[in-house]
Amino acid sequence: MHSPVLLLVEDNAEEALLARRALQAGPRQPQVVVAPDGAEALDLLFATGPHAGEAPLRPSLILLDLNLPRISGLAVLRRLRAAPETALLPVVVLTASQEEHDLLSSYALGANSYLRKPADYQQFVEVVHRLEAYWLTLNEPPPAA
């Protein structure tokens, strides 16, 4: 069995490193691809920009921050849900935002889940491990398009 691919869309390099380490220490050890902003995430998923000519990335799960440079997480989510080839990809919003508007907008745009990042490192690692256990082990994904 091959390891699943997870796209982490996170502009904070330290948080991306912590999430990557936590995921790769888990039982599934997914291949983690990090996009530091929304534009890079869309380029990877739609094989555009610097990724033109490559196969589009089809991760088993997308962990999406909302407060991103260039293109916001909500704009990324809107674009993903509008395209038939990415409409069913599981997207978990993982953000520090405490704004009710962000929560409501995320679900309205089709997020599968919304989680606030814990400030405590051990709690953050626990959340990432639980995400991995559910989405990469227990969840039954939609069939590949």
Both tokens of 48, joined, read: 């555009």
| φ and ψ at residue 114, rounded to 5 degrees | -135, 120
In the predicted structure, residue 139 carries a pLDDT above the cut 80 = yes
121 CB-contact burial (10 Å; exposed 0-12 / middle 13-18 / buried 19+): exposed
What pLDDT does 45 receive? Answer: 98
What's the N-to-C CA distance of the chain in angstroms? 20
Residue with tokens 């990335």: 57
Confidence of residue 9 (pLDDT cuts 50, 70, 90): very high
What would the pLDDT profile of 76-130 be if each residue is shown by its tens digit?
Answer: 999 999 999 999 999 999 998 889 999 999 999 999 999 999 888 889 888 888 8
Average pLDDT, integer, range 55-82: 95
Q: Are 94 and 67 in contact (CB under 8 A)?
A: no
24 sits in which H/E element: helix 13-24
CATH placement of domain 5-137? 3.40.50.2300
Domain boundaries, the chain: 5-137
pTM of the shown model: 0.93
What percent of the chain is predicted at pLDDT more than 70?
Answer: 96
What pLDDT does 106 receive? Answer: 97
Selected residue with higher pLDDT from 24 and 42: 42
Both tokens of 35, joined, read: 């996009």
